[in-house]
Amino acid sequence: MDKNTIVGIIGSGAMGSGIAQVAANAGHKVVVYDSNRAALDKAQKSLAATLQKLQEKGKLASAEEVMGRFSFAESVEEFAGCGLIIEAIVERLDVKQSVFAAVEKAVGEDCVLASNTSSLSITSIAAACQHPSRVLGLHFFNPAPLMALVEVIPAIQTNSELIPGAKKLMEQWGKTAVIAKDTPGFIVNRVARPFYGEALRIYEEGMADMATIDWAMTEIGGFKMGPFTLMDYIGHDVNYVVTDTVFQSFFYDPRYKPAFAQKRLLEAGWLGRKSGRGFYNYVEGAAMPQPTKDEVLGTQICERVLAMLINEAAEALYLNIASAADLETAMTRGVNYPKGLLAWCDEWGADKCLEMLDGLYNEYHEDRYRASVLLRKQARGNKKFV
Ligand SMILES: NC(=O)c1ccc[n+]([C@@H]2O[C@H](COP(=O)([O-])OP(=O)(O)OC[C@H]3O[C@@H](n4cnc5c(N)ncnc54)[C@H](O)[C@@H]3O)[C@@H](O)[C@H]2O)c1
């Protein structure tokens, strides 16, 4: 795969059109296909408008030139000349499997097939193909043109020789690529779960209100957005569903258990910013709750969430989900954490982190708070991660 590779995109929604823009911007001819003609027309119009805006801002030499690299296809047969296909359609395994099987018939033998799935197993998508060794995951973040990270995910069937080329191509597209094992949530959507989950737990217990938790995580923790503001921003239809899928995919491991406080919002249709109401009320003139700026409480909140995040990163490293370097890159570039979680652990000392987790475990007697064996080993040996 190189600059001359024609890239096919399946699905012209939020992710598909964003990825198409990234590929065209990197110089590729791009064929975009969507089963919904209206969605395809909408994507064509919005891509043209976005490129025009970038040109006006001086960020793009010629919108027309980049737009000229696109073609919008009515059927998968138009993928015939493609060397790489990236699928970004509805998050349903049965639909993805049938689309992969159909696309495989339309492309040449050397064409690489990638899925942008957030939560499905790449292995199960690959299993629907005649040549599963050419299937892998390329997980972009939303919005794809702005977010730096791409997780490259080999399925168990993937020809390992494809991976360095895929990583290199993503880097040529201006992305930072990390390699993740094909396990639920890959790196970011797995390791970040406690940022939401533990914040929700603290809120449900009544230890603090959401404004105070958000204040603690931003002001004391240095995160760009607090968990409740961020969940409202992502939308509960996306964030809750990812949590629930990860929970189920991990055979109901209590570490990933969803919270009723968020489920009820979803049931009420209070999806967050986009629907005008989520944890917060975004209707004009509505009063925003104010935090209790208590440093002692804020530090307790922040350290509890951080200990859970660090534990998740340590466990991911222990289970070889990714290298330590890729784990750090994924969390700092993919979700803009102020520091890599392993480096944060080194700064605290693994013993402090372990003490916090063991304290929670002893208090609650819940498996949710079990410390990673790796963290225990690090603390015992007084070792650093990075
Ligand atoms: N939205 C995110 O934040 C995000 C981030 C990373 C990954 N993802 C993943 O990317 C994928 C797409 O998400 P999205 O947010 O862009 O969805 P979306 O709903 O915005 O777009 C999906 C598009 O796929 C089209 N489509 C549906 N079934 C199709 C089929 N059988 N053949 C061709 N086109 C079909 C729809 O018409 C729609 O235009 C999902 O797998 C999702 O998990 C989403």
Neighbours of 296 (CB within 10 A): 7
Return d(Cα 43, Cα 30) in angstroms, integer: 13
24-69, pLDDT tens digit by residue?
A: 999 999 999 999 999 999 999 999 999 999 999 999 999 999 999 9
250-282, pLDDT tens digit by residue?
A: 999 999 999 999 999 999 999 999 999 999 999
Q: From the CB of 34, is ligand 1 less than 6 Å away?
A: yes
Return d(Cα 217, Cα 112) in angstroms, integer: 41
- Helix, strand and coil percent figures for the chain, each rounded to 5: 55, 10, 35
295 CA → ligand 1 middle, Å: 42
Strand order in the sheet with 30-33: 70-73, 30-33, 7-10, 84-87, 112-115, 135-140, 149-154, 176-179
Mean pLDDT of 348-358: 97
Q: From the CB of 44, is ligand 1 less than 6 Å away?
A: no
Check whether 337 has a pLDDT greater than 90: yes
Cβ pair 375, 353 in contact under 8 A: yes
234-249, pLDDT tens digit by residue?
A: 999 989 999 999 999 9
What angle (nearest 5°) sits at the alpha carbon of residue 164, between those of residues 163 and 167?
85
Q: From the CB of 120, is ligand 1 less than 6 Å away?
A: no
Mean pLDDT of 298-315: 98
Cβ pair 32, 72 in contact under 8 A: yes
Return d(Cα 193, Cα 379) in angstroms, integer: 23
Band (pLDDT 50/70/90 cuts) for residue 316 is very high
Q: Which of 189, 239, 311, 372 is catalytic?
A: 189
Residue found under tokens 């097939």: 113
- Whole-model pTM? 0.95
Looking at residue 119, what is its pLDDT? 86
Mean pLDDT of 313-334: 97
- What percent of the chain lies above the pLDDT cut of 70? 100
Sign of CA dihedral 125, 130, 131, 133: positive
Band (pLDDT 50/70/90 cuts) for residue 1 is confident
Q: Measured between alpha carbons, how far apart are the two ends of the chain, in Å?
A: 33
77-126, pLDDT tens digit by residue?
A: 999 999 999 999 998 999 999 999 999 999 999 999 999 999 899 999 99
17 CA → ligand 1 middle, Å: 10
Cβ pair 11, 87 in contact under 8 A: yes
Looking at residue 284, what is its pLDDT? 92
